[in-house]
Structure 1
């Protein structure tokens, strides 16, 4: 018995699922049916929400800290070099000469110490030589400590502050610049400047080691004038800073400066010589 339903193609049709309508098949199977995303939407979907591991966070913090440190260093170097960028050629030459002079002073001091050592080693009367050097050293230390008067070549700097704008920190900058240039003795308005000298503002006046002084401020400095005066006049230095505050600064060289303001010798409360 052979019927139409028993044909192979009819049996195959009964076993397959029913065909979908043409419109429905196209809507579910083709890529055009999926929602279309713009490039920006795909970027946002890939970046948010962020998936940051602990290691990535630590690395990011370290890189941020490194970048911040480099930025601060570059800014600091830029500020310190800004005054020199606009300097004239003769000013730069003068600054280099000043650095050479400082190096030469250090070399001379080194040679002097080596000479003292050789004299102690080679002297036939070492005890007498040691006493002589002790007296000389005591005199030098007395000058540095302000317990004895001193005289020698140097400069006189006068700061006329009619506007009352000069403050203690500006005078302290002048003292530090003079020391760096090789000043051996400094006196400000009758007050001897020593290693422990401090300056402070006291109303409209300046106090040096507790002694109030008035303008004009007169600095008497012993040292090499060829080093002291250029150190005050470098671009962005003491003189320019004071002139920006409407103060008048005059610097005069002299072959003989007398620093006669004295300080009482103070015995330390705790420090003792290690040889005792």
Structure 2
């Protein structure tokens, strides 16, 4: 094998490549080879600008990405920078202002709610008048009781009249307790309250409402009588039940209508309590009945309640 075959590595001689001619171009009018050299800055033909210098590997390259448009379907990256920060601050400020406004409105409503009394605001004017009248009546009775007790105290301290005053005081207290217990008759100014049935019979709870209203207005003694004249004393333990045919059962005794309650107390205060709007008279009228209230200068409560026989309690001397 020859040296040429060894140099190519294939065993075949390497074909000869025609070399580039050197020297001036023999063609007439041809430009000088130095002028056509790409390394010569003067070799550029007229009208052609040289390309911009390429940056070196070590120089920093700045690219403006603001004008680059993302392709369709690609995810949009949220904007960053001062504009985005200002937008976030603007949204947060609006939310904080809204929350502060709601908090202020809630505080104002709460203050207005707590500054007013809901019970008094919801009470009707007629009910307030009745409550004030009852309070005035109770105040007068309490003042009278205070004066009577103070007078009894002065008499008991008077020395030789003390024993007689104590006996009189004990007798008076026994009479009062007897009237309240229904074991003694009573007489004094008061009212006569008559219940007349209409399309519906007079129910037991209507009569009970009347008794409660009279007690609240200062009634001291009461009795209820039926159409046949039978009467039952009304005390703290008296109960009322509906009977057959429109009758009324009071403490186990049957009464037929119409029913009449005789009560001793302040006539004006008790009449006002019965005639308030939405009260006993209005309720009975709503059922088709009627309530007739008459003043009595002297009302007699003569029905008596049998005293309860005590089995375990004994008086202490």
Does residue 129 of the first structure (1) align with residue 129 of the second (2)? no
Aligned mates of 1:150, 1:264 — CA distance in 2: 15
- The aligned residue for residue 281 of structure 2 is 239
Q: CA deviation at 1:224?
A: 2.5
Higher helix share: 1
> Structure 2 vs 1, CA of residues 28 and 240 (structure 1 numbering), >3 Å: closer, same or farther?
closer
- Flag structure 2 segments of 5+ consecutive residues without an equivalent: 1-38, 40-52, 81-90, 96-109, 226-230
> Structure 2 vs 1, CA of residues 228 and 23 (structure 1 numbering), >3 Å: closer, same or farther?
closer
Does residue 31 of the first structure (1) align with residue 79 of the second (2)? yes
Of structures 1 and 2, the one scoring higher in RCO (CA 8 A, sep 6+) is 1
> Structure 2 vs 1, CA of residues 22 and 240 (structure 1 numbering), >3 Å: closer, same or farther?
closer
Query: What's the TM-score once normalised by structure 1's chain length?
Result: 0.67
- The aligned residue for residue 116 of structure 1 is 152
Residue aligned with 2:195, SS: strand
Conservation of the 8 A alpha-carbon contact between 1:197 and 1:208: yes
Total equivalences in the alignment? 228
Does residue 187 of the first structure (1) align with residue 207 of the second (2)? no
Residue aligned with 2:57, SS: helix
Q: Which has the larger radius of gyration?
A: 2
- The aligned residue for residue 58 of structure 1 is none
Query: What's the TM-score once normalised by structure 2's chain length?
Result: 0.59
Conservation of the 8 A alpha-carbon contact between 2:190 and 2:297: yes
Conservation of the 8 A alpha-carbon contact between 2:155 and 2:161: no
Q: CA deviation at 1:131?
A: 2.0
- The aligned residue for residue 251 of structure 1 is 293
Q: CA deviation at 1:269?
A: 4.7
Aligned mates of 1:208, 1:80 — CA distance in 2: 33
Does residue 81 of the first structure (1) align with residue 124 of the second (2)? yes
> Structure 2 vs 1, CA of residues 29 and 220 (structure 1 numbering), >3 Å: closer, same or farther?
closer
Aligned mates of 1:119, 1:181 — CA distance in 2: 32
> Structure 2 vs 1, CA of residues 242 and 127 (structure 1 numbering), >3 Å: closer, same or farther?
same
Aligned mates of 1:163, 1:151 — CA distance in 2: 35
Any residues of structure 2 matched to 1:40-79 within 5 Å, and which?
Answer: 74=118, 77-79=120-122
- The aligned residue for residue 238 of structure 2 is 197
Offset from partner CA, 1:138-182 (integer Å, 9 cap, x none): 122111111111222211110101323432222112111111222
Residue aligned with 1:166, SS: coil
- The aligned residue for residue 50 of structure 1 is none
Does residue 156 of the first structure (1) align with residue 192 of the second (2)? yes
Q: Name the stretch that deviates more: 188-197 or 206-215.
A: 206-215
For the aligned residues, what is the CA RMSD?
Answer: 3.9
Conservation of the 8 A alpha-carbon contact between 2:137 and 2:218: no
Conservation of the 8 A alpha-carbon contact between 1:232 and 1:238: yes
> Structure 2 vs 1, CA of residues 212 and 104 (structure 1 numbering), >3 Å: closer, same or farther?
same
Residue aligned with 1:122, SS: coil
- Flag structure 1 segments of 5+ consecutive residues without an equivalent: 33-41, 47-65, 86-91
